[in-house]
Amino acid sequence: MESRFNRHSERLAERFGQKVWRLGLDAGFGCPHREGGRGPGGCSFCSPEAGLAAYQHNLPQDLPPLEAQIRRAVQFSRMRYGAQAYFLYFQAYSCTNLPTPSLRRIYDSAITILEGFAPGTLKGLVISTRPDCLDEEKAELLSSYALSGLEVWLELGLQSSNPETLKRVSRGHTVGDYAKAVKIAGRAGLRRAVHVILGLPGEGRAEMLETISFVNYHGIEGIKFHDLRLAKGSSLARQFPAGEFMPMHPARLPALLADCLELLDPRVEVMRLCADFSGDSAVNVFPPPDKNRLYEAVERELAGRGSRQGAHADASAAAQSR
């Protein structure tokens, strides 16, 4: 049955003729918001450690870290899923947080490693970063990989379009930084994806839907929804026992996500609907949503409304134009 929202995985399968898997990597970028006194240890919702897949733990010590990660990720995805097509996913921290020549060396090295270990399987690059870590020169570098035939995605962590929310969670960038970054990436011809968190402190349904209208207005090709989870070691996780913050109950997600999807431009590819924490890396105040069941619940919610992604996108555009 055809999905009622635009699933990224399905669009990838159409473009490449097979399912494409991401190889999540920590290439040692770090985050400028945690370093050099820019912020109070980073965003209040962030884990002290990068959220890499569990299979990247306890890597062999006889290989350079990047090569060990790529080999482990390919071996795992092949054994578990029969994967034969990959995106190199620079996932951990802010993956444009170095001078452009250093970025080129890291990206080129990863491409060379994968092509040597699994020739012909590389289909694209995914670069996750902060809006305040992108400039014209870095966008031009990423564009050069797209010109070589790879599908290149730039993932920008906006989280919310509400300036007060960004301050409240110590995000360390402004909505203007995001608008500038998404414009630079668009001019460079990159596919742009935005990260949005549902349930941030102080936000209700109206603020979350306003974020969807905001990202529609500025233009994106992909989106990742995350429900706010209390990552162990984060500032929010420390606030919770003191009663300063209560997470949103997962039972609210299907209807809320359906509301968001109805506003979202139907051309935007939906990459995920909820956060993905491995093992015991989060404080589970409520049982976390099962990803597959959540996808089914959102489909049922949209079907029950006789609706689909983009059904109210015109209203979103009108709201931003006022």
Domain of 36, CATH number, reads 3.80.30.30
Structural domain includes residue 93: yes
Residue 234: phi and psi, rounded to 5, are -80, 165
Structural domain includes residue 1: no
Give the model confidence (pLDDT) of 208-228 as tens digits: 999 999 999 999 999 999 999
Structural domain includes residue 21: yes
Structural domain includes residue 155: yes
Burial of 31 (0-12, 13-18, 19+ CB in 10 A): buried
Question: Amino acid identity of 268?
Answer: V
**The tokens of 204 are what?**
């209700």
Structural domain includes residue 161: yes
Q: What percent of the chain has pLDDT over 70?
A: 92
Q: What is the pTM of this model?
A: 0.92
Range of the domain at 48: 8-321
What does the pLDDT average to over 5-13?
A: 98
Residue 297's pLDDT is 98
Vertex 226 angle, CA 223 and 228, to 5° = 155
Structural domain includes residue 144: yes
Pairing of strands 282-283, 230-231: antiparallel
Say yes or no to pLDDT of 238 above 60: yes
Structural domain includes residue 3: no
Give the model confidence (pLDDT) of 43-66 as tens digits: 878 876 656 666 677 777 878 899
Structural domain includes residue 121: yes
Query: In sequence order, what DSSP letters do the residues of 83-128 get, joined into one string?
Result: ---EEEEE-SS-TT-S-HHHHHHHHHHHHHHHHHHSTT-EEEEEEE
Pairing of strands 191-198, 222-227: parallel
Query: Based on the structure, what is the number of domains in the chain?
Result: 1
Residue 84's pLDDT is 96
Residue 279's pLDDT is 67
Q: Nearest-CA neighbor of 224 among 104, 89, 134, 75?
A: 89
Q: What percent of the chain has pLDDT over 90?
A: 72
Q: Tell me which H or E stretch contains 56.
A: none
